[in-house]
Structure 1
Amino acid sequence: MSEFLGLADLSPGATEPPGAVLGEILAGPETGWLEGECAEPDEWSAGRVLVVRELRSSMYPLLRSSRAVVCAFGGPAGHMSAVCRAKGITVIRIPEADLVRMRGTVRIDRSRGLIDLGSARGSAPGVPADDVSRSAPPGSTCAVVAGGEEIDAVNESGWGSTVDRFFVREEFLCLEAGLSPLDLLAAGPDGQDRYAREMAAMILGMRSKLQPHQKIVYRLLDLRSDDAAGITRTAAVGEEANPELGLHGTRWIVETPAYVDVVRSVVRRLAEQEPGIHDSLALAGPFVADCHEFSQLAAALGLPERWTVSAFVETPAGVYDVPAICRAGAAEVFIGTKDLVQLFLAADRGNHRVAGSYNTRHPAVIDALARAIMACQSLEVPVRVYSFARDLDHYLSRLPRPTGYIMDSAELIARLGSHPGRRAERCLR
């Protein structure tokens, strides 16, 4: 069984106490209780527990206003699970046969992955403050966010001093703004101008929330065809048999001149409105497979002087080609373990049926991460490694020390707890 997943297979009625359903927490804090009223999409209202068969990108407006999400399919490393994790929204997967039982008010025990189907029976136990780890990852931490709200949450938690990077994916910003990238690109100059204008405005809004030592890492669009199909209304979306290994990421960017023009327009708008913004904003190429792809991306973008491009590496070829990627000019290297694990182990990160094979601590993964970290160290290029909160201590004990770790903002706050100074401030108010 995977060291990462506690439940490789869920069957109806497996070991749960009477009146409860056993599930697996895919995203969100893994301590404490959560209570809410269940609702399916056609009866939705904000603040309820959303009950769906599987998460889809088209559900984003419902997800962002959910108290929690109960689903039957998916894994903790899936794309929409990642969105929910960044926003601190609890997602729990249960057997499909139990979805029909999700009615009325339920209580979710996030520490055990249990859903109590009875009505609230008094206050649920909390988690003692002393039981929460407050150790920050060594080095400088990069927090994954979905927008400005998560930047505020990290900085208001009192732990902003440990975070010097906020990592945001362009597709998250598109979901937040209700934009369909492919529709806008296909709409000609007017649509492309709107796309660039909206992205620049959102980046500037996030920039205004930073502390002086902090920086935004803006990962360019990485929209797989299956995700694009869920949010595209008029443009043609090419159907692919295997979207995960299809035309997306850096290879899509260099083949899409209209999108490259949008990126240049975003950079130009940002520089005009805030001339020194290049010091607090870095662009990152997504899903970089090797140094050839990174060089193609850098050449296609043709950024002005003082603007840098980093590489987001998440394929086996990429991690072993890190030395060449660094020599090709990558300002920083970000290693994404979610895709890396599924490609190394041939286990779909969003398919719970192979959860026992999707092992974020597999020796091959650890070896690849160690090699990439040491290569960056030897070339004096900053390197950061993505980690789920539950894997961090394992990585700390087995990997060379990178420049820092990448963690989802909600998981980072949950790991650190409330800063002692912040607790004292609240007591004095």
Structure 2
Amino acid sequence: MTSLLLESLQQYPAEALSPTLVALQEAQKILPPPHPVWLISTSVWQQLRSGVIPLWQAACDRWQEVPPNAADFRALALEMTHELPPLDVGELETIFAACHHFWQQQGGESHLVLTTYLWQEAVDLPWGLGRGTVLHHPSLPLCHQALEAAFAALVEAKNLYTYWQQGWDFCRLKVVILLYPLSTIVASGWWTGSDPTFQAIASGVTLPHHGIPLPPRGIELTPAEEQYLQQACRGSASHLWVWHRSQTQVWWGQCLPEPLPLAPLPQAVERTLIAEGLPAAPGQAIAPALVVTDPCAPAAVAGQILVSKSIPPHWLPLVSAAVGVICEQGGLTSHGAILARELGRPAVVGVVNATQQISSGMTLFLDGHRGSIYQLPPEPLPVVATPSPQTPSLPTVKRLPLQVMVNVSQVSALRVLRSLPCDGIGLLRSELMLLAFLDHRHPCHWLEHGEAEELRDRWVQHLCEFMRAIAPRPLFYRTLDLRPADYRQLLGGHQFEPATDWGLRGVSRYPHCPELFHLELSALAIAHRLEACPLRIILPFVRSVSEVVYCQKALAQHGLTAKAGVELWVMAEVPAVLFLLSDLANLGVAGITIGTNDLTQLLLGIDRETTLPDFNEDHPAVKKAIAQLIQQAKAHHLRCHLCGEAPARYPHWLPWLIDLGIDGISVGPEVVTQVLDQF
């Protein structure tokens, strides 16, 4: 067992640090933060890796003769993970006591920030390879688990692929983890480049570890504060910095190795239109292209435009780290489009032969508003990304004839959600939420290896973050709808996922894997007890009354009943529900949520990765089915919501839905203001 050794950043020898950490060390001497800063010593990783280096060396020898594929990296990752010894808490208990002392002195909320730094031979590796975590209201066990997960992430398949692809010697990799406590702060933001641009994010401590931060909202630094920060990091302007601001001071929190300059879009730049597609997510980006055709995608995509045939959901970390997305396949409701919109990444989908027309390293101008892709001259240009404008908070919320809610799956969306003029979270996509903390492992793989409690704790932590952000407004949580094609790619997925993609969708899977369903309900029950947020549970892909009865019994075992203030809803996305509403009402179901994406897909016989402009939610058959569902729901005294982007995409939909008497709609955060402006 390896013991955790922590040392003060300021007392750590500079010659044993990466260039970025040396820059941070010097900056914090000039501008000391109000909190202590520790490093987990490089010796910890040196001890941990002793058992996995022979595995890496043997694999590299094999791959010299036979090039590896995705399965090879996944198999090696699993083998290496099993060889990593457990971490003893070591000095962590003492450090945690010091954190508690700091939190008590400062007052307010308590948070713990952990960031992994990697380098080799005094050269920083892209920070997208490491893990950035903010633990809210942390405990010693949660902190210990997060550190173990951070080290385990270094031998994930996607990272191993990147080491091999880039020619980095895994055996000489140096790793430290930066760790520091935070109390409640006003804002955090980026600073980078020779022309400093300060940007504030929403109140709280959700730090921008991946991708592009939100545009400034609400909080701005004074000129004196800007000058103060600039003086503290003089000579290191090329790095990417993270700053924090409390009520009384501002300071540098981190220095990251991969600069991501944010600058105005050059106006007079020669450009050549090379491709067009569907504008799936608004915004613009200028950056080098990274073309990915291997199913085992690389990890180091930060600061680049990701170009691929499609974006499966388990590529969530890649979309988060990229500055833009281009897909050959997919429509406006594909997973790649949904993830890009939620994460604020400009995206164009349905681009014919994109992976053939575009080559890695080509400088692109991606216009997510128009669906256009331009090639720029080869001269070096700064990486520029302009996400879609986020919704400003409104002084008052209009009294509307229906509720307007939001669809989310990632905690990164909470920065906008806290001040968004909406009536709640209308759909929390649990299967996409899980991808943020599964560590590329199938959830049943966690259960098989006796790690159910850790998975549940991560589940609870994420649920509580969503609940705290939206309360006292309600949260509609859709239970797991694991699509076999998506989850089959995770570690262990081929063992637990059926060969066909339509059989075990939604609730039909629960009797076949009751352990996972009950683990999910246990997490929901704990979060419901911890947070004062109205909880609505939605059952996905319902095809029979017996499925709902099975779920009701399981919910009752965990105390998730109407008596406890929990409402049960059903997704109306399979056409069969058209003929089941009377039975559902008799069971005590509170309402239905019409899922326009799957309903359109099943009624018209299309899939999300196919671009067929004439076959969409506005098709007469789909609209007639929706009208019938709303009318029948009213007749059986069921509340009725609609989930999807159609009310924002088609101006005639909103008055049509209101005339039908719908109770609410749920759309992406980026279009809430657009919908409200229609009233």
Is the TM-score greater than 0.5?
yes
For 1:281, the equivalent position in structure 2 comes to 535
**How many Å separate the matches in 1 of 2:650 and 2:670?**
15
Work out the CA distance in 2 between the residues paired with 1:138 and 1:175. 36
Give the aligned partner of residue 376 of structure 2. Answer: 118
Deviation at 1:47, TM superposition (A): 3.0
Provide the aligned length of Structure 1 versus Structure 2.
381
State the shift of 1:125 in Å: 12
Tell me if 1:22 matches 2:275. Answer: yes
Matched residue SS, 1:311 = strand
- Give 1:141's aligned residue: 404
Match of 2:332 among 73, 76, 80: 76
1:162-177 mapped onto 2 (5 Å cutoff): 162-177=422-437
Give, in angstroms, the shift of residue 290 of structure 1. 3.6
* SS of alignment partner, residue 469 of structure 2: coil
Are 1:60 and 2:316 an aligned pair?
yes
Query: Contact 1:291/1:321 (CA < 8 Å) preserved in 2?
Result: yes
Provide the residue aligned with 1:204 in structure 2: 464
> How big is each residue's C-alpha offset from its partner over 1:31-64, in whole Å with a ceiling of 9 and x where there is no partner?
x543222223548332321111221233221111
Please identify which structure carries the higher helix content: 1
- In the other structure, the counterpart of 1:407 is 667
- 2 CA distance for matches of 1:281 and 1:338? 24
Distance (whole Å) between structure 2 residues aligned to residue 38 and residue 235 of structure 1: 31
Q: Deviations over 1:241-262 (max 9, x none)?
A: 4x1x221201111332112320
Q: Is the 8 A contact 2:568 2:589 kept in 1?
A: yes
How many angstroms does 1:284 deviate by? Answer: 1.3
Using the alignment, how far apart are the partners of 1:144 and 1:210 within structure 2? 12
Which stretch of structure 1 is more off in the superposition, 317-326 or 246-255? 317-326
Residues 37 and 104, structure 1, Cα contact 8 Å, conserved in 2: yes
1:319–1:369 CA contact under 8 A, matched in 2: no
| CA RMSD between the two structures | 3.2
- The Cα shift of 1:124 comes to 11
Rounded to whole Å, the distance in 2 between the matches of 1:284 and 1:357 is 30
Q: In structure 2, how many angstroms separate the alpha carbons of the residues matched to 1:128 and 1:229?
A: 35
**1:285-337 per-position Cα deviation (integer Å, ceiling 9, x unaligned):** 11112433222221233242323321112111113423332332222211101
Q: CA 1:192 to 1:116, structure 2 compared with 1: closer, same or farther past 3 Å?
A: same
Match of 2:474 among 215, 225, 228: 215
CA 1:280–1:135 in structure 2 vs 1: closer, same or farther (change >3 Å)? closer
Q: 1:122-142: per-residue Cα shift (whole Å, max 9, x none)?
A: x9999999xxxx999851112
Matching residue's letter, 1:294: V
CA distance in 2, matches of 1:416, 1:25: 24
Contact 2:347–2:368 under 8 Å retained in 1: no
Separation in 2, partners of 1:263, 1:228:
17
Which residues of 2 match residues 11-50 of structure 1 at below 5 A?
19-25=272-278, 27-29=280-282, 33-41=284-292, 42=298, 44-50=300-306
In structure 2, relative to structure 1, the CA distance for the partners of 1:23 and 1:196 (3 Å cut) is same
CA-CA distance at 1:396 after TM superposition = 2.0
| Separation (CA, whole Å) in 2 of partners of 1:105 and 1:137 | 46
Mapping of residues 196-345 of structure 1, within 5 Å: 196-212=456-472, 214-233=473-492, 236-241=495-500, 243=501, 245-274=502-531, 277=532, 279-302=533-556, 303-304=558-559, 305-306=563-564, 307-345=566-604
1:183 aligns with 2:445: yes
Matched, 1:394 2:639: no
What amino acid does structure 1 have at the position aligned with 2:672?
A: L
SS at match of 2:522: helix
Partner of residue 109, structure 1 = 367
Deviates more, 1:68-77 or 1:323-332: 323-332
Deviations 1:185-217 (A, max 9, x none): 333xx32222222111111122121243x1211
- Which secondary structure does the structure 1 equivalent of 2:310 belong to? coil
CA distance, structure 2, for counterparts of residue 136 and residue 87 of structure 1: 29
Counterpart code for 1:194: E
CA contact (8 A) 2:280 2:341 kept: yes
Are the equivalent residues in 1 in contact too, given 2:290–2:304 (CA < 8 A)? Answer: yes
Distance in 2, matches of 1:126 and 1:90, equals: 6
Write the distance in 2 (CA, Å) between the matches of 1:207 and 1:97.
40
Contact 2:424–2:470 at 8 Å: present in 1 too?
no
Q: Match of 1:25, as an amino acid?
A: L
Describe the shift of the 1:401–1:271 C-alpha distance in structure 2 as closer, same or farther (beyond 3 A): closer
Aligned residue number for residue 373 of structure 1: 630
Aligned partners of 1:263, 1:86: CA distance in 2, in Å?
Answer: 23
- Counterpart for residue 244 of structure 2: none
- Which residues of structure 2 form unaligned runs of 5+? 1-269, 293-297, 391-396
Find the aligned partners of 1:51 and 1:292 in 2 and give their Cα distance. Answer: 44
- What percent of counterpart residues are identical? 21
Whether the 8 Å contact between 1:44 and 1:50 is mirrored in structure 2 is no
1:255-282 deviations in whole A, cap 9, x for unaligned? 32112320332134225534xx4x5222
Mapped partners of 1:127, 1:268: distance in 2: 36
Q: Output the amino acid matched with 2:601.
A: Q
Match of 1:11 in 2: none
Distance verdict in 2 for CA 1:146–1:173, change over 3 Å: same
Does 1:151 pair with 2:414? yes
Contact (CA 8 Å) 1:71, 1:99: kept in 2 or not? no
Residue deviations 1:150-184, cap 9 Å, x none? 1331333xx42x33334211112211113431212
Greater relative CO (CA pairs within 8 A, separation 6+): 1
Alpha-carbon distance between aligned partners in 2 of 1:223 and 1:154, rounded to the nearest angstrom: 25
Q: Distance in 1 between matches of 2:386 and 2:304?
A: 21
Confirm or deny: 8 A CA contact 1:289 1:313 kept in the other structure: no
Displacement of 1:74:
1.9
Question: What residue identity is the alignment partner of 2:435?
Answer: L
| TM-score normalized with structure 2 length | 0.51
User: 2 CA distance for matches of 1:151 and 1:248?
Assistant: 28
Determine if contact 1:87/1:145 at 8 Å carries over to the other structure. no
Measure, in 2, the Cα distance between the counterparts of 1:184 and 1:124. Answer: 37
Q: How far did residue 378 of structure 1 move?
A: 2.6
2-structure distance, mates of 1:151, 1:391: 23
Q: Is the 8 A contact 1:21 1:98 kept in 2?
A: no
Q: Distance in 2 between matches of 1:56 and 1:148?
A: 19
How far apart in 1 are the matches of 2:299 and 2:508?
40
Question: Retained in 1: the 8 A contact 2:291–2:355?
Answer: no
Contact 2:284–2:346 (CA<8 Å) still a contact in 1?
no
In structure 1, distance between residues paired with 2:299 and 2:475: 37
Structure 1, unpaired ranges of 5+: 1-16, 418-429
Match of 2:174 in 1: none
